[in-house]
A and B are shown apart, each in its own frame.
Chain A
Amino acid sequence: MSDFFSTLLDEFPQVRAGLWVTVEATVLGSLLALLLSFLLGLMAGSRLLPVRGVSRVVVEFFRGTSLYIQLFWLYYAMPQLTGYELTPLVCGVVAFGLNYGAYGSEIVRGAINSVPRAQYEAAVALNMTPFHRMRKVIMPQAWVQMIPSFTNLLIQLLKATPLLWLISAADLMTAVEHVRSRTGETLVSYLLLLVAYFVLAYALTLLMNLLERTAKRRLGLHPGAGSLLKTRTAESAATAGGTR
């Protein structure tokens, strides 16, 4: 055990760098996923069949092929095909972005569809352009619906990052795995990983909850909004208390 901790201390710079790689892959991957979610999700609602078609095909492809295999493709197969090599981190970011972007687009599409049609009609009656309707009326309401699902996806993405180990990306998993193989302390090593990913996931949850509260506040659903919202106020206060 003491052997483990002294090795861990020795390897601390690598472990810290690994943590940074994990965070980077998560943040950049989820930003790409977010971008693709909106792009593909909005395309899925287009009036033009070819636009909808492209979105459908891309979503089905990246949702239907394993993230493992996408990673291997990008890292091992693509260089053979194109002669162009991507760094492990870039491979991870692209694979996570495409894969989770495909799932995310369904969240965007669903949330847009969940905004009552009456809202769209009211915007038409005020003679807003289609873009204006989407930007100022539909999207702000759909956004609130998206956040909880995006939180789930974000945490899944974080938990998928240990796959980077498979393409030697020197992430947190890889660094701790190295310590484990040097010390043979399997139990403590994997316990450390469990805790580390849990803490990261929980931090993300807190951030997303904050985002959700802000978004809800914009819809007038904030605590202390008046007696009309008493139950909602109590509810959100309870959630806040539980997550603080």
Chain B
Amino acid sequence: MATDSASLKEPAGSAPAPGTTGVEPLVRFDKVVKRYGDHVVLDELDFTVKRGEHVTLIGPSGSGKTTILRLLMTLEKVSDGVIWVDGSPLSHTRKPDGSLKPAGEKQLRESRKKIGMVFQQFNLFPNMKVLQNITEAPVNVLGMEREEAETRARELLDMVGLAGKVDAHPSQLSGGQQQRVAIARALAMRPEILLLDEVTSALDPELVAGVLELLGDIARNTNITMLCVTHEMNFARDVSEKVLMFDAGRVVESGTPEKIFTDPEHERTREFLNAVL
């Protein structure tokens, strides 16, 4: 297992972006394997994401895109390999001899500090009003003063265009509104990395544009690193600088959106884009 410092500085990603030499990527998958029984979802996956980068993961269903986000959020455990975030192993602890073992809950909580996630089905807490959905974790996890958390939550709600819904229950909101609250909730934890898992897939078509626009604003106005799994190719084109095409648990091709969408090199990418565009 590559744990010495030399290997840390040399990203093993299949597609090191130009100009990254010597800079530790924020996220690095190092021969990550995810298996469910005999079914291999991710097959020695290597890829890196630079700080501040907005990356879209595309590919046919079952290609392992969502699994990547779930591994990063520590909702799943890697079967093999290591995920590095900001130079530290995400779900492993270093033993005194330098080797790695799976991390316990305490270390996982440390790792999660940097990462936030927005889900396909929003997953707002129905037992809390909108404001408390956003303030609950900042107050009880980050230890923020309630007043400060509420001020910040109101700012975020204002930003996502739901200033008037502070006291609403999630069940009173439309899907698009719930997803905006979910985005505000994730941002309230000030993540360095935001994971977006098909965040528009469950929305009515007329609500998609608003959510995408909001995410575009966040991408432009913050330095949050974003990893997006999406079927919205417009979003991939408008917001991300890098597109990773997945198939069968591996990165088939990666590049700028222009390159991938107009001049894909790989046959699988062409087939996939023909099918979805």
Contact = CB atoms under 8 A, between A and B. Distances in A.
B206 interface: no
A141 B125 CA distance: 9
Interface string B100-140: 00000100010011011101010111111100000011001
B74 A225 contact: no
B140 A136 contact: yes
A130 interface: yes
A219 B112 contact: no
A81 interface: no
B57 to A, nearest CB: 18
Given A121-B123, A218-B127, A126 B141 contact: yes
A134 to B, nearest CB: 13
B139 to A, nearest CB: 11
B236 interface: no
Contact of B189 (A119, A126, A132, A226): A126
A218 B128 CA distance: 7
A119 B117 CA distance: 13
B176 interface: no
B43 to A, nearest CB: 24
Contacts of B125: 119, 122-123, 136-137, 141
A226 B73 contact: no
Interface string A214-234: 000011110001101100000
Mostly, the B contact residues are loop
A55 B121 CA distance: 34
B79 interface: no
Contacts of B126: 141, 219-220
Contacts of A220: 126, 129, 168-172
B105 A130 contact: yes
B246 to A, nearest CB: 22
Interface string B157-178: 0000000000011111000000
B171 A221 contact: yes
Nearest to A122: B123
B137 A126 contact: yes
A129 B75 contact: no
A188 interface: no
A82 to B, nearest CB: 42
B171 A125 contact: no
Given A140-B127, A219-B126, A229-B171, A127 B121 contact: no
Q: How large is the interface on A (under 10, 10 to 19, 20 to 34, 35 or more residues)?
A: 20 to 34
B168 to A, nearest CB: 8
Contacts of A136: 125, 128, 136, 140
B154 interface: no
Contacts of A218: 127
B156 interface: no
A121 to B, nearest CB: 5
A219 B168 CA distance: 11
A140 B125 CA distance: 10
Interface string A125-152: 1111110100011001100000000000
B141 A132 contact: yes
B127 A137 contact: yes
B129 to A, nearest CB: 8
B185 interface: yes
A136 B133 CA distance: 11
B119 A118 contact: yes
A128 B121 contact: no
Contacts of A119: 123, 125
Nearest to B118: A125
Contacts of A124: 73-75, 112
Nearest to A124: B75
Contacts of B105: 130
A122 B185 CA distance: 10
B186 A125 contact: yes
Contacts of B123: 118-119, 121-122
B188 to A, nearest CB: 9
B171 A127 contact: no
Given A125-B119, A220-B170, 4 more contacts: A129-B109, A220-B126, A225-B171, A225-B172
29 contacts: A118-B119, A118-B121, A118-B123, A119-B125, A121-B123, A122-B124, A123-B125, A124-B74, A125-B112, A125-B115, A125-B116, A125-B186, A126-B185, A127-B113, A127-B189, A128-B137, A128-B141, A129-B109, A132-B141, A137-B127, A140-B127, A219-B127, A219-B169, A219-B171, A220-B126, A220-B129, A220-B171, A221-B171, A225-B169
